[in-house]
A and B are shown apart, each in its own frame.
Chain A
């Protein structure tokens, strides 16, 4: 910790030395962690499809089949639960289904929906959208499973506060089924969660927020963004100035809705091409329309993006959803399955449609195939833009005033994702080291330091490592879900029976 601080101060004091320190950190990380990163993101033999994406997709398909396509059969029931139709009016003032969903969503909706989709469509072509939606739809069943368990096995303390998440269902659930190793699973999961929170949930976000800001304001040193962001995050999570969090997190849903509305406006503006765009998406899904790898190229990009965007299977959502007030754990599962739907099926698809319809991807007018820029490994675009800049260019093609707003959204999305992950990381910390102010303060301070590091440096290997941690959470979590899914099945069967018999009924 002190070493980190010294390194950081040194980096601030000497920009030239900072370069050296960046490199040193990069090298140390690459030397010691490179093999692990390589292992996590390794491709399946003979493909460029990482096994970890397949792991998430296979899990999603298994849960879909096991729970009888709950995401389709239970969809309307989910909406009714969110509306509060089944909430006891005497529980007013407790955490509602809607609140748990909104908080969990503010942690997942973010850079993946804006930048990630552009990467997927840029490399996999319009067809990637189709596979992204397919994977998102399956991912809904994974969320259902993990969030039902999160509520069922949460800890409720005498003072009335609750703690939940995979570490609790791993220990208590495994014990209930007479399985060994629950504690070990929980410890490994918590370690991965802390590292994932510092990486994917922090440094990556800070880094991208700075990239966006310097794109709009002109280049300036990253540590300035870092110090400001870290300062704001610090006063929110350590100082307990929740009003800032509340303001941002109130703005974030509006940003999300605004983003969808602007996307719809662009689609209406180009209404005569909507059928064409859907045609491109379907055709691309099965032929690739000129992208490298053809059909599989599109499929791989779509699956990857969905799996990495909605966090289904990672286990983070189970922490956020566990605080809801309900007598039936599966009701929160029903509500949670809306999360991948909103995140991936709705918001990601909007981004993809706008990119396709505005024609920022270069297409050969003769053949209708997309022009492949082999050197960059993606479809050629005007001015060669990619990632979040591609999204920006697509929206700017219809509304020139949109890019600055998009930049603000990206920063706010990054901020709210960081707040959520600071909480997930803190829960993992208190699971490992016990509940207490000292443990919480230590983690929160380290978290804020990493924001500065994340936005100041381009620590590629460090970020790769942290992303690898995020997906390591999914390895442990999905194994636990396989082992515990019979418990969810039992709960679900009982719930559905009582729902049909009228024992569980709507309140007026």
Chain B
């Protein structure tokens, strides 16, 4: 059997690294590689003012580079320090959808997702990201408290 792949859904709350630490620990034991995906919540149906339309491309570029430098790079360094092979992805869209799609594209064995944020009122009403992933995932999913 070849090297396993774990997809880690990683949000930008860098103080909460439980999901990343757990995934690194598991990957290290299994000799698996990690695909760390950070999704910037975005809908093609959201409303923008004229000024925001004109600046959207510029903003998107900025968002991507910020996510790359502040979220993905530190995460990759953490994995590297633990001796785990890892790559990073940054995307715009719906978190649950893109994480599950990435898992399919990478032929991943597991998805790791943090439980953070599920206690908020918003999550109670609209459902939280980990629950949404759990519902549509096509591979086993680990929800890290």
Contacts and interface: CB of A to CB of B under 8 A. Distances in A.
Given A92-B93, A162-B54, A253 B47 contact: yes
B63 A93 contact: yes
Interface string A217-248: 00000000000000000000000001001100
A98 B48 CA distance: 10
Contacts of B64: 93
Contacts of A242: 49, 51-52
A250 interface: yes
Contact of B49 (A93, A246, A424): A246
Candidate in A93, A102, A107, A325 with the most chain B CB atoms within 10 angstroms: A93
B45 interface: yes
B49 A103 contact: yes
Contact of B55 (A92, A106, A161, A249): A161
B56 A95 contact: yes
Given A93-B60, A93-B92, A161-B58, A323 B53 contact: yes
B40 interface: yes
Contacts of A420: 50
Interface residues of B, number: 24
A162 B52 CA distance: 10
Contact of B61 (A103, A107, A160): A160
Interface string A405-428: 000000000000001100110000
B44 interface: yes
Nearest to B58: A160
A423 B50 contact: yes
Contacts of B63: 93
Give the interface size bracket for A toward B.
35 or more
A404 interface: no
B54 to A, nearest CB: 5
Contacts of B48: 95, 99, 103
Nearest to A99: B48
Contact of A162 (B49, B57, B92): B57
Contacts of A246: 47, 49
Contacts of B135: none
Interface string A89-105: 10011111111101100
Contacts of A250: 47
Nearest to A237: B51
A45 to B, nearest CB: 41
Interface in A468-486: none
B46 interface: yes
5 contacts: A94-B60, A95-B53, A95-B57, A161-B58, A162-B54
Interface of B: 40, 42, 44-58, 60-61, 63-64, 91-93
Q: Which 7 A-B pairs have the closest CB atoms?
A: A93-B92, A160-B58, A96-B44, A323-B53, A423-B50, A92-B92, A160-B57
